[in-house]
Amino acid sequence: MTSTVLPLVVRALTEADARLFHSLDDPGLVGRALVGSVYRTVGEGGEYRPEWTWVALRGDRVVARAAWWGGPDDERPVALDWFDVAEGEAAAGAELLRRAPFRTEFDLLLPPDWRERPEVMAAVEPRRAAVEDAGMRFLVERFRYRWTPGDGLPERPGRLEFRPEPDDEAVLDVLRRVHSGTLDAHSRAAIEESGSDRAARQELDFFHWFPAGREWLQLAYTKEGELVGLHVPAHNPAGPCVGFIGVVPEQRGHGYAYDLLVETTHFLAERGAEFIAAATDEGNFPMAANFAKAGYPVTQKRINFV
C-alpha cells in the first residue's frame, strides 16, 4: 500500500484563521522563538499583518510558515522575521517563499554556540536549504550584542568632540567617505549593487526610518577639529540600539571606532536605556574587538540571507 502525498496549498492568512500559524510544531531552537518572540497579529495587539503572513498546507496541516514584518507606516514589509518548516518539508518552504509576493532580507537567529550543538545544526539546515532553493543567498554571519547597565558603562576616552549635524548633504558626504574600504558586508553589497552615492542615501534613509536616530546622529572630531566619523545612537521599534558607527579612511588605525561606540553607549544610557542592542559582522574583527572591550556580550548570532 502506498501513501498519498497531499497537494501543497500556499496562501496568505486572514485575521480569522491566523491561529493556523501556531499549529506548526517547532521546538524553538532557532529563529524568533529563540528570543521569546510571540507571533500575534495587529488585531491581537501584535506586530504582524495576516496578509503578510503565508503558510504552506497539506490538507489542514501547516508544513511551512513565513511572517514578514514592517513598521506601522510601511506599505510593504521590510524583513522576513519568521520562517519555519516541518520535518522533511524544506521543498514546501522554498515553494512558499517563491509564491509569496515579498522579497526582503531574512535574518536567521541562532544561539552563539550553534555550530557546537547538533540539534541546532539540524534545525538550521532545512531553513538554509529552503531559502537558497527559493533564490536567496547567504550574505554574512553576524554577532548580535545586548548591553545592559549590569555590564558596566565604559569610560569615555575623551579624545573626541561630538556635534549634531542637521544637514543631510553633509552627512551623505561623510557616509560616502566612511563606505570607502568598509568591512561591513551589507554596505559593500549596497555599493556593488547601486554605487556609492545610492548606498549612502540608503543608509541615511534608514536613519530617518528609525523612530529616533536621525536627530541623535553626531559627527565626531579631534580636538584639532579634524573630522573622524559619525555615530548614530538610535531607537528602533524593538528598543535602543547602536544604529551606525563609521570612521573616515584617513582616521583609521587610531582606535576611534571604540570612542564612537562608547559615546553611543553613554548617549543612550543617559536617556534611560535599560539595554542597548547592537550587531557586527563576524569577519569585522576590529569592530568585534571594540564591542568586547566596551563590555557588550554576544547574545546571539544571525545569518543574513538576501
Cell of 82: 519568521
Query: CATH code at 267?
Result: 3.40.630.30
96/216 same-domain check: no
- Read off the pLDDT of each residue in 31-59 and give the average, rounded to a whole number: 95
Query: CATH code at 113?
Result: 3.40.630
Q: Which residues constitute the domain of residue 110?
A: 8-136
Whether 72 is covered by a domain: the verdict is yes
Edge-to-edge strand ranges of the sheet holding 227-236 = 8-12, 53-58, 61-69, 79-85, 105-110, 298-305, 138-147, 276-281, 239-247, 227-236, 218-222, 160-164
Residue 100 CA to residue 112 CA, distance in Å, equals: 31
Instruction: Please give the tally of structural domains in the chain.
Output: 2
156/125 same-domain check: no
129/161 same-domain check: no
Q: pLDDT of 206-215, one tens digit each?
A: 999 999 989 9
Q: Say if residue 2's pLDDT is above 60.
A: no
Q: pLDDT of 264-287, one tens digit each?
A: 999 999 999 999 999 999 999 999
Closest-CA residue to 169 (of 211, 200, 133, 193): 200
155/288 same-domain check: yes
221/97 same-domain check: no
How high is the pLDDT of residue 35?
86
69/171 same-domain check: no
For the entire predicted model, the pTM comes to: 0.93
Residue 17 CA to residue 187 CA, distance in Å, equals: 39
Q: pLDDT of 119-170, one tens digit each?
A: 999 999 999 999 999 999 999 999 999 999 999 999 999 999 999 999 999 9
198/262 same-domain check: yes
